[in-house]
Chain A
Amino acid sequence: MNWEPVIGLEIHIHLKTRTKMFCRCEVAYFEPENTRTCPVCLAHPGSLPVPNAKAIEWTIKLGLALDCEIAEHAVFHRKNYFYPDNPKGYQISQYDEPVCLNGRLTFPGPDGDAEIGIVRAHLEEDAAKNVHTGGAEGRIGGASATLVDFNRAGTPLVEIVTRPDLRSADQARRFLQLLRQTVVELGISDAEMEKGSLRFDVNVSVRPEGSDELRTRTELKNLNSFAFAAKAIQREVERQIGVYEAGGEVEQETLHFDPGAESAPPLRSKEEAQDYRYFPEPDLVPIEPPRELVERVRGELPELPGQRIRRLTTELDHDLALDLVTSGRDRLYVRVPGEERRAIANVLMNQFAVSGVDPEVVDAGELGKLIEARSRIPRDRFTEALAASGDPGFTAERYLGDGLVADTAELEPIVERILAANPGQVEAYRGGKEGLLGFFVGQVMKETQGKADPRVVNELVREKLKA
């Protein structure tokens, strides 16, 4: 029996607004604890929320970039539960009337475009930060006290929920990369996992290939990188397949991973179904995004990563296209002239990437010349040239100087001499053995002690052999 994974993602991103979602405390990372608070985000008696206009606008912007419908009438709801990082005893979130609905993120895959459905994107506030002390660092089990810092409480969060349309761990990873790139390019979040401005949970289940049932899923939480997530998802997929093939049933569970210890097995728990008792937030009035606002934001959307990937796939394969875009080097790529598109892309993704040069400051024309000449200069010279490619006044010329001999006037006599010395092979080549071209080129190279430009030699030999 063949199985297919059924994977869905729930992603939270911090909006990089200056102030919190429902009060005007500054959003700040790494500040001393409890120095960015006020009666509102501390949930003092009598405090009331006031929404952040920019956060609403940016949520609309994200929704449009994900091809969502922007709601005509959106409502904030209270999500009621007790936890020390939840000062009001409820989180202001959205329930059945979110700002954005029914979108999609499309990206190329091995079997054509993959369209991953976005169920919804909604706006809510982040919780405070709990530090569990006394027990093992950062883990919930075994702590002797919890210390709470409310600086983060109230930071605007957008929650994006996908349909379970992802069909492999790797696809999930690529989806996350593309979503992150999109969010960063929209200018609404820096989406950095280490900073905590991007978090995600994964829902994993499997089913017989081709069926459309949805089986019990497990939830993976606290994954701290895309790469790690791909591994964890793959492991879970394999585990579930193993369970089914052994005749068992997969149980509904949550796997809590340890951000500090990748290889540690996750804590498994069966989370009680929580009754959040959602009801419309009486302290806030509904949002009815004015059409002029939506259209203005739509007009301000940049060309999005997904669109750029699609254009690149006309000349590159999907993986390379995706990598170029998600690494932020595609804009340089399209500026670099030259026929060998694949080679240029590969250089950008590999040797150029390693050089650490900022793609924005590179002279694309010169870089193109350099790449074109890459096989004519020694490797270390090439690396050196790449490292300098961002410097003002960079020219490729400087590095090609005493490179390979490409002067046809100099090489032509040598070629003629080789051909004259090997009449039998010439005959055979002209008779159809085209593989002998390499032999002639090799002879010229030997004759010139490797100093001839093999491509020029190749050209010349071909031409002479035609005669």
Chain B
Amino acid sequence: MIDTLRLTAEAALGLLERGEVSAAELHRSYLDAIGERDDELHAYLRTVDAPNGAGVPIAFKDLISTRGVETTAGSKILEGFVPVYDATVVTRCREAGMPLLGKTNMDEFAMGSSTENSAYGPTRNPWDPERVPGGSSGGSAAAVTAGLAPWALGSDTGGSVKQPASLCGIVGLRPTYGTVSRYGIVAFASSLDQIGPMTKTVRDCALLYRIVAGRDPCDSTTVELPQPVEIPEREDLKGLRVGVPRELNEAEGIESGVKEVVERSIELCRQLGAEVGETSLPRSVEYGMPCYYLIAPAEASSNLARYDGVRYGLRVEGGDGIRAMYERTRDAGFGDEPKRRIMLGTYALSAGYYEAYYGQAQKVRTVIADEHAAAFRDFDVLVSPTSPTVAFKLGEKAENPLAMYLSDVLTIPSNMAGLPGLSIPCGLSDGLPVGLQLIGPQFSENTLFHVGYALERAIGFDFVPRRLQ
């Protein structure tokens, strides 16, 4: 009887290698768990019955194209759409022998921070089903948390891997931009989207990153990793310089419970031998949000133009010409958040406004990158809470877009600079998980894994939700 709630991918790999369990049995255990718990949680949009590989199974966020398996990106406009090709990350997982467990729920087109924007209904947080799992990779986060998958891939644009990982008490990596292929990933904001592993442990995260990372000739924005991925082993932080950016740690809206837990973790860094010091990112936090909410919707407005009912997806006929068909199809197929962002993005790019909005935002991006680079001259890693709050209640922010956007205030700045960020659970506040965000310079994943692992060992966070134990 496999306890999928507790089983890490690394442990599952061990079971398979030692022949203690077969791939079919392992797959079946997860499907059983899904049968038991997913009616309530709704982490999955669809599952795959039989394993198509001999390794550790994996779940993919539903914006990752899987050949022959429906891929909807959480939207009605792609309901029933079956890709004719696999995303590169899917191919790499398949070649590593990993069978597909299923496709997980998400905010429509990755736009959201709670998975409430899914056209197929929300996902619930396994720690408290009245609360959101975070978003947009809420389905993947809930699946891993509730033992419905040993590990999963999500996508992160403004924080959509890190934030749900934080709200669900698991590990999530947003990699350096350009280290994981976007070929086959339904695009939201091309200069920001990255695919990231979502796992129970930091070592699992490194193992999965190693499988998917590296230059892809099908994606012109990818590069080779300058060094191979190291699976972390060291449990101390001697020689590391840890920076605490004032603005990230004292931003408006950070709950006091979250602050407390994070401060304890920062103190732990000292105890593990790191040099800890304060630093500043003067404008990155204040201007990060507006910068993101100009660039991401602008790119999205263009990326979503292909959903026009011509070649695939939903089409709503009206009998009066193609323009009417476009408009009716898109009105019926897109939910509120994509519509808002398409309009916002179209505006930001339009004649007469480009310079002031999109153009200016691209410059702010340079400022943010420069500020982080300056901080990294003195520090190896920066820390902050991942999310200002623990998981909030379903419906709490759904009607207030601006309030929802603020969930990403801490994850956005480093994303704008293309920097990697690892979120690890570092404690509970009011019984709900708190995530610690570790930010590093480009290509510093090995450092992030090292720091994350050492802290993980020292903190000893139990990633199985209390109510499921």
> Which of A's residues lie within 8 Å of B, judged by CB?
39, 42-51, 78, 80, 82, 84, 87-90, 146, 148, 150, 275, 277-279, 282-285
List the 9 closest A-B pairs by CB distance, nearest first. Answer: A89-B305, A282-B190, A277-B349, A282-B191, A46-B184, A45-B186, A43-B306, A275-B351, A46-B65
User: What are the residues of chain B within 8 A of A43 when measuring CB–CB?
Assistant: 306, 311
Within 8 A of A (CB), among B123-145: none
Contact residue among A39, A46, A80, A285 (Cβ-Cβ distance under 8 Å from B220)? A285
Chain A residues whose C-beta falls within 8 Å of the C-beta of B182 in the assembled complex: 46, 48, 283
In terms of DSSP, what is the predominant structure of the interface of chain A? loop
Q: A residues within 8 A CB of B310?
A: 84, 87, 148
A229-B63 Cα distance, complex, nearest whole Å: 49
Give chain B nearest CB distance to A130 CB in angstroms: 10
Contact status B322-A146, CB under 8 Å: yes
Cα–Cα distance between A42 and B186 once the two chains are bound (Å):
14
Say yes or no: A45 contacts B81, CB within 8 Å: yes
Residues of B within 8 A of A (CB): 63-65, 71, 73, 78, 81, 83-85, 87, 182-187, 189-191, 217-221, 298-299, 301-302, 304-306, 308, 310-312, 322-323, 326, 346, 349-351, 354, 358
Given contacts A43-B311, A46-B183, contact A279 B220 (CB under 8 A): no
* Complex Cα spacing A285 to B223, Å: 12
Query: Given A277-B354, A284-B220, A87 and B302 touching (CB < 8 A)?
Result: no
Residues of A within 8 A of B65 (CB): 44-46
Greatest chain B CB density within 10 A among A39, A45, A49, A50 is at A45
Q: Which residues of A contact B301 (CB under 8 A)?
A: 80
CA distance A80 to B301 in the complex (A): 10
Specify which of B71, B87, B186, B311 lies most central, judged by the most chain A CB atoms within 10 Å of its CB.
B311
13 further A-B pairs in the complex, CB-CB below 8 A; given A44-B83, A48-B182, A278-B349: A39-B85, A45-B78, A45-B186, A46-B183, A48-B183, A50-B219, A50-B220, A51-B220, A150-B311, A277-B346, A277-B354, A279-B354, A282-B299
* Complex alpha-carbon distance, A459 and B310, angstroms: 80
The smallest beta-carbon distance between A19 and chain B, in angstroms, is 14
Q: Are A48 and B186 closer than 8 Å at their CB atoms?
A: no
Q: Which of B220, B312, B323, B358 is most buried by chain A, counting CB atoms within 10 A of its CB? A: B220
Residues of A within 8 A of B299 (CB): 279, 282
Cβ–Cβ contact A78 & B302, under 8 A: yes
- Decide yes or no: A285 and B183 within 8 Å by CB, A78-B302, A80-B305 being known contacts: no
Of A46, A50, A282, which is within 8 A of B185 by CB?
A: A46
Residues of B contacting A47 in the complex (Cβ-Cβ under 8 angstroms):
183-184
Q: What residue of chain B has the Cβ atom nearest to residue A34's Cβ?
A: B311
| A49 with B302: CB separation less than 8 A | no
Q: Does the CB pair B305–A82 fall under 8 Å?
A: yes
Candidates B217, B311, B322, B326; contact of A42 at CB < 8 Å: B311
Question: Across the interface, do B358 and A279 meet the contact criterion of CB distance under 8 Å?
Answer: yes
Q: Select A80's contact among B190, B221, B349, beta carbons within 8 Å.
A: B349
A48 to B312, CA, bound (A): 17
B75 to chain A, nearest CB (A): 10
B87 touches A46 (CB 8 A): yes
B272–chain A nearest beta-carbon distance, Å? 39
Determine if B306 and A45 form an interchain contact, defined as CB atoms under 8 angstroms apart: yes
Interface residue from A39, A90, A146 paired with B305 (Cβ < 8 Å): A90
A48, A50, A88 — most chain B CB neighbours (10 Å): A48
Known: A39-B84, A44-B83, A87-B306. A285 touches B349 (CB 8 A): no
Contact A87 B311 (CB under 8 A): yes
A-B contact pairs, 25 of them (CB 8 A): A45-B73, A45-B78, A45-B81, A46-B63, A46-B87, A46-B182, A47-B183, A49-B220, A50-B217, A82-B308, A84-B322, A87-B310, A89-B302, A89-B308, A90-B302, A90-B305, A150-B311, A275-B350, A275-B351, A277-B349, A279-B299, A283-B182, A283-B190, A284-B221, A285-B221
Residue of A nearest to B351 (CB): A275
| Complex Cα–Cα for A284 and B221 (A) | 6
Q: A146-B322, A277-B354 are in contact. Are A46 and B186 (CB under 8 A)?
A: yes
Identify the closest chain B residue to A83 (Cβ).
Answer: B322
Nearest opposing residue in chain A for B217, CB measure: A50
Flag if A45 contacts B71 (CB, 8 Å).
Answer: yes
A427 to chain B, nearest CB (A): 89
Bound complex: CA of A46 vs CA of B312, how far in Å?
13
Which residues of chain B are near A50, meaning CB under 8 Å? 217-220
A87 to B311, CA, bound (A): 8
Q: B residues within 8 A CB of A51?
A: 220
With A and B bound together, what is the CA distance between A50 and B219 in angstroms? 7
CB distance from B329 to the nearest CB of A (A): 11
Closest CB of chain B to A200's CB: distance in Å?
27
Closest to B184 in A: A46
Task: List chain B residues, Cβ under 8 A from A84.
Answer: 308, 310, 322
Report the minimal beta-carbon distance from A133 to chain B, rounded to whole angstroms. 13
CB distance from B109 to the nearest CB of A (A): 10
In the bound complex, CA of A39 to CA of B183 (Å): 10
Residues of A within 8 A of B311 (CB): 42-44, 87, 150
In the complex, chain A residues whose CB is within 8 Å of the CB of B305: 80, 82, 88-90
Q: Give bound CA distance, A39 to B185, whole Å.
A: 12
The answer for the CA separation of A84 and B435 in the assembled complex, in Å, is 46
In the bound assembly, the distance between CA atoms of A326 and B272 in angstroms comes to 80
Residues of A within 8 A of B191 (CB): 282
Shortest Cβ distance from A380 into chain B, in angstroms? 61
Q: A88 contacts B218, CB within 8 Å? A: no
- Cα distance, A48 to B84, chains bound together (Å): 15
- B186 CB contacts on chain A under 8 angstroms: 45-46
In the bound assembly, the distance between CA atoms of A221 and B78 in angstroms comes to: 37
Chain B residues with Cβ under 8 A from A283's Cβ? 182, 187, 190, 219-221
The docked-state distance in angstroms from the alpha carbon of A150 to that of B310 is: 12
Across-interface contacts of B184 in A (CB, < 8 A): 46-47
How far, in Å, is A390 (CB) from chain B's closest CB?
48
Within the complex, the shortest CB–CB distance from A84 to chain B, in Å, comes to 5
Q: Which of B187, B298, B308, B323 contacts A46 (CB 8 A)?
A: B187
List, in ascending order, chain B residues with CB within 8 A of A45's CB: 63, 65, 71, 73, 78, 81, 83, 186-187, 306, 312
* Least Cβ–Cβ distance between A277 and chain B, in angstroms: 4
Q: Please give, as numbers and ranges, the residues of chain A lying within 8 Å of B183 by CB-CB distance.
A: 46-48
What are the residues of chain A within 8 A of B221 when measuring CB–CB?
Answer: 48, 282-285
Among B73, B83, B220, the residue within 8 A (CB) of A48 is B220
Contact yes or no, A44 B85, CB < 8 A? yes
Q: How far is the CA of A285 from the CA of B222 in the complex (A)?
A: 10
A42 to B358, CA, bound (A): 28
